[in-house]
Structure 1
Amino acid sequence: MTRTYALPEMFPLCRFLWRARATNSALRRSPLSSSGAHRVKNIAIIGGGPTAVYTLAALVGSKTPIGVVIFEKCSEIGSGMPYSSDTATPSMMSNIAGFEIPPVLTPLRDWLADLDRKSLADMRLTADDIDARTYYGRLVLGRYFQAQLSQMVSRARGAGHQIELCRRTEVTDVLIKRNGISICWASPLAEGDDLFDEVVIATGHSWTRRPKDDATDTNLVPLWPIKDVHAIAGDYIGVLGTSLSGIDAVVAIAELHGDFVEDQNGMRWALRPGHSLPRIAMLSRKGLLPEADYYYPFPLPELNSLTEDRVLEESQQGQAGLFDRIFSLLIKDLRSVIDNGGPVLHDDMSVDSFVQTYFLSRMDTDPFEYARSNLAEARAGHANRTPCPWRVSILKAHEVFEMAAPYLNEADLDVLKSKLGSVFADNYSSVPHPSIERMLALHDMGVLEVIALGDEYNVENTSHGIKVSNGGFSHNFDALIDARGQRPLGINELGFAGLVIDKTVKEMGQGAGVHLTPLVPTTGYIQCVALPILLARRPFVQGLASCAKLGAGAGQSILERVSKG
């Protein structure tokens, strides 16, 4: 049966309070009339995505009334960039199962179950689609976080907290003052600056037009906002990246020319009348498509040897050789569970050898042939609720290595990020089955190909578009979409002139996030839980689970200071 889809309506959120310039708002500076004994703790959260939502959820647990202002530069607040209708389309899938999403007030499954048929239909869902292991569209998650934020704000105000949501308001600078932290902001109707006791920087992904590897001024098209992709003209489009973001780009281009149709025979793509058949190439160093989501138990079972406790024990012996010691524990655990269908491992193998072995069978197989067989294997695993032991072990090992990262020296951290990290990223970045089905449908229609770039390749502008080449091939694209994902950023790249490392602030430790200690006297506090900033030291910090952990940690840190008065 063919499905028809419609854009979901967005939840209305709390009203936006426009403020005049240069006010010390009564919201943030007046004593509480109810007691007269305490002043409201004034907190600013920069960014209005899931991390901000989880931060607010922790803050409103305060027994002492607080004042919180959330600044969001986009029109939607609560959803976050990947899940916003400003940037995503109804076809874009999330890469996290429903049961893995940390609840805010209500678990996602329960929230969906309470919606009526029309609300579900607006999100391309039926009651039968609601399941703990379902991978939902990005816009569904956006709706969830908006609704949870709205409900939370209403409850918090009823409990005496003062909450303000500032949509379409961009923070232009963060200035350290003696009596607090000044937030400079601008909206379409006004601009101003306000003083806060606490500031949490929770900005999300930063997608801009950027040169390839920051080396050449090449005209790449960013994946976000999606309107830039929809504006592309041309018949041969390249997509840098083969992860779920790359699939998003491919789907966005394909849907300009045709429709994905799901019937009893599976997924197919149909060209619309009057449109010419597009050509799309996905490009990555290895030329591999991601694996289909496989069944795994949750929470993940502990490994026999590589445990967090064992890492802590090994770290007591010092950084020298720490990576090698815990890597050998990983190989030991994998060898104990691997079967004939997995990579062949031996005790004394190096990281390079392990990475090569992990990808070997896929490198020797056509990416679409492998995707088809891997999808069938993944479907069978879900149908029988049968996990793949060695894949599950790698998934758990990724968590342990994430915990171990702060204990590694810089050289070993680089090995983790640049080598072993590619295995972890491939393993935990498995994608929803419909995403693989769409890639196969496009390939079957002669629309999609995958190109392996190798380690060395060139990207350059031409008079007609973009040329990508290495020693063995050359491809000329009408446009090239950059879907390689978020690169790590430094504090100085946040765009706030008032926050300059070693000039106005210093990074002090990484608890929940980065604590920015001012180098000038102030009564204010600044925390940064922006994922792009943390990526440099924590290569695996990403996704909604990280957002929840960071938000809870930032909120708890503030509440500890609130309790001290």
Structure 2
Amino acid sequence: MRTVVIIGTGPTAIYTLRSLVRQPRPLTLLLLEAGPQAGVGTPYDPRRNTVEMLANIASVELPPVVETLLAFMRRRPDDTLSAWGLDRGRLGERDFYPRVALGAYFAEQLALLRDEALAAGHDLRVHTNTRVKDVVPIETSIRIVAERDGAPWSCACDKLVIATGHLSVEYPHKALTTLDDDVKNVAILGSSLSAIDLATAMASQRGLFAGARYQAFPEAPPLRITMMSRGGRLPEADFFCPLPTTPADGFAEADVLRLVDASPPGRVLDAVFAAFADMLAASDPDYAEGIGLAGLDADSFADAYFAERDGADPFAWARRNLEEVRRNAKTQHVIAWRYAILRSHEAFAACVPALDEDEMRRFDMGLKRVFVDNYAAVPPRSVERLLALREAGVLHLEKLDPEYRVEREAQGGRVISGGGAAAFDCIFDATGQEAAPDEAFPFPTLRALLFANRDLGDDPGGRAIRVDETFRLVDGPNSMRNVWCCSLPFLLDERPFIQGLTSCAAIGQETAEAILDDFRVGPEPVDVTLGELIAQVAETSPVLMTDGLVLLAPAPQPAKA
């Protein structure tokens, strides 16, 4: 049987596995998990999260694996629901659940997939405590070098999926929220859901949330939490809209790609924004007139989008927004402009690979902030908790200078911004996962091959980790066609909006279909043998050989005079 190895067992790996096991050809499937528990995924790991930390996706939005999230929740015993702070009678498809509940969901879905796989004749094994150290492509196969339970271990496979998920970041991690009694003044960098979760988890150690109120324990040390961000604003509450979303009329991905093809270099962003503005104006003419959309461009739209909110007290705005969201949920009223932006962000992202350096800078500074603010709306209960902490005098919000810096000390540190400095007992970074540089790719041999391919190709100064539309690593002199990179941090540069679970499902399906297509068609003919390839480049590039691996390094450059 053909062998497929998946590194990682989080949501992307599970969605990939779902498509692989639901086809008739028997496969050997091997999942490798670095931690002690398979299936939970880093953002939903019970070792890293408390029950106060909420996921911002509801069951109606989450692509089901074997069953829906709501069906899973309804099968939980009462004591489990109670431990998660949930009431069986109030479970619904649009409710938001703790991250640990989603971790339990994915872990159980992996177990159910394993039963499906074995019944269908697949050989499926899941190895925990198995940390992959290296990936070595050897002609038509791939060697995996790892440590399993602390001992050397290796295997070989026909196809490899790298689904390692988030890199190791400071937050979320529930151990960080365990505060010593002498910790009274805390800074949190960021104001997104991760920051809110961190604030509520810490506050829960020294008090109790009861509905819309927070009451500190009488004997608890005082606590002051300051969330700090460059925008100086709070996220808005998740709003009612039809789900799942459908592409906006006239602004689907195919429409954006046509604009990309028709636009000269350096003019792509403006052309796509013009089409986006037309769609937004048609969706909500009153909103378009209110912000002066006809006079805005790709650079000024973000300022107009945030203007009214930035002119108000952020907590007063949050309270009005929460009331509006709850009112609209009861009446199922849709705010047209919000829904239009939500429906268009993934289509807009299709133009990102075609943006030049200046356009990319402009996109990051403007429109990207709008789309992220829109789709990263947080559970209404999270906003309610923010307001409760504010009313109790615990929570504060500060706007940071764009050039702020943090000076950490053995205990606490200082945040320096705008010519002033503030000292804190603890400083936590909750700014989230950023795009990872090529140098952070964790598998040294595969990384060296990727760099060699880049330097021997048409873009020696560009990205080394590049994937095609199925997330297969782009080919070069060193063949990568049997390796798929689905690790989100290394995809964010060209796919800035793929961090959600719906994206994990789409990535998993695309990857699995490409693997199965390969198995149906068979291996591609080799145009040039390895020996011939070595001969072609030997005069200009050194060739390193190790364990059957051919690594083509760029030719040495002449020394400068």
Give the structure-2-normalised TM-score: 0.86
* 2:335 alignment partner in structure 1: 388
**Correspondence 1:334 to 2:292:** no
Report how far residue 402 of structure 1 moved.
2.0
* Residue deviations 1:393-429 (CA, integer Å, cap 9, x gap): 1111212202332343343233223321000000111
Tell me, yes or no, if the aligned pair for 2:288 and 2:294 is still in contact at 8 Å: no
Distance 1:46 1:494 in 2: 13
In structure 2, what residue type is equivalent to 1:42?
T
Report how far residue 115 of structure 1 moved.
3.8
Distance 2:410 2:243 in 1: 52
Counterpart pick for 1:478 among 425, 432, 441 = 425
* 2:7 alignment partner in structure 1: 46
Counterpart pick for 2:506 among 549, 552, 561 = 549
Q: For 1:182, what is the secondary structure of its paired residue?
A: strand
Distance 1:508 1:188 in 2: 32
Q: For 1:44, what is the secondary structure of its paired residue?
A: strand
Q: 1:91 to 1:521 in 2, by over 3 A?
A: closer
Report how far residue 503 of structure 1 moved.
2.6
Distance 1:274 1:120 in 2: 29
**Correspondence 1:529 to 2:486:** yes
Report how far residue 204 of structure 1 moved.
0.9
Tell me, yes or no, if the aligned pair for 1:301 and 1:396 is still in contact at 8 Å: yes
Counterpart pick for 1:362 among 282, 300, 309 = 309
Q: 1:463 to 1:525 in 2, by over 3 A?
A: closer
* 2:18 alignment partner in structure 1: 57
Report how far residue 461 of structure 1 moved.
3.1
**Correspondence 1:126 to 2:87:** yes
* 2:468 alignment partner in structure 1: 510
Distance 2:196 2:87 in 1: 24
Counterpart pick for 2:171 among 197, 214, 223 = 223
* 1:399 alignment partner in structure 2: 346
Which 10-residue stretch deviates more, 294-303 or 69-78?
294-303
* Residue deviations 1:95-142 (CA, integer Å, cap 9, x gap): 112111011111222232344434433433333232121111111111
In structure 1, what residue type is equivalent to 2:487?
A
Tell me, yes or no, if the aligned pair for 2:32 and 2:127 is still in contact at 8 Å: yes
* 1:140 alignment partner in structure 2: 101
Report how far residue 203 of structure 1 moved.
0.6
Q: 1:203 to 1:518 in 2, by over 3 A?
A: farther
Distance 2:237 2:109 in 1: 30
Q: 1:48 to 1:303 in 2, by over 3 A?
A: closer
Q: For 1:98, what is the secondary structure of its paired residue?
A: coil
Q: 1:520 to 1:389 in 2, by over 3 A?
A: closer
Unaligned 5+ segments in structure 2 are: 455-463, 523-561
Report how far residue 201 of structure 1 moved.
0.4
Q: For 1:541, what is the secondary structure of its paired residue?
A: coil
* 1:257 alignment partner in structure 2: 206
In structure 1, what residue type is equivalent to 2:425?
D
Distance 1:141 1:338 in 2: 39
Distance 2:325 2:289 in 1: 14
How does 1:403-482 map onto structure 2 within 5 Å?
A: 403-461=350-408, 465-471=412-418, 473-482=420-429
* Residue deviations 1:45-95 (CA, integer Å, cap 9, x gap): 111100000010111123221111111111221110111101111111001
* Residue deviations 1:275-319 (CA, integer Å, cap 9, x gap): 111010000001111001111112435434433343233223134
Q: 1:543 to 1:157 in 2, by over 3 A?
A: same
How does 1:9-408 map onto structure 2 within 5 Å?
A: 40-178=1-139, 180-208=141-169, 222-230=170-178, 234-262=183-211, 267-300=212-245, 302-320=247-265, 321-336=267-282, 337-339=284-286, 343-408=290-355
Q: 1:318 to 1:495 in 2, by over 3 A?
A: same
**Correspondence 1:495 to 2:442:** yes
Distance 2:10 2:289 in 1: 39
Which 10-residue stretch deviates more, 384-393 or 461-470?
461-470
Report how far residue 355 of structure 1 moved.
0.8
Unaligned 5+ segments in structure 1 are: 1-39, 209-221
Report how far residue 189 of structure 1 moved.
4.8
Corresponding residue pairs, total? 508
Tell me, yes or no, if the aligned pair for 2:280 and 2:288 is still in contact at 8 Å: no
Distance 1:558 1:285 in 2: 43
Distance 1:553 1:491 in 2: 23
**Percent sequence identity over matched residues?**
33
Tell me, yes or no, if the aligned pair for 2:12 and 2:507 is still in contact at 8 Å: yes
Tell me, yes or no, if the aligned pair for 2:300 and 2:366 is still in contact at 8 Å: no
In structure 2, what residue type is equivalent to 1:537?
E
Q: For 1:199, what is the secondary structure of its paired residue?
A: strand
Distance 1:48 1:88 in 2: 18
Tell me, yes or no, if the aligned pair for 1:355 and 1:423 is still in contact at 8 Å: yes
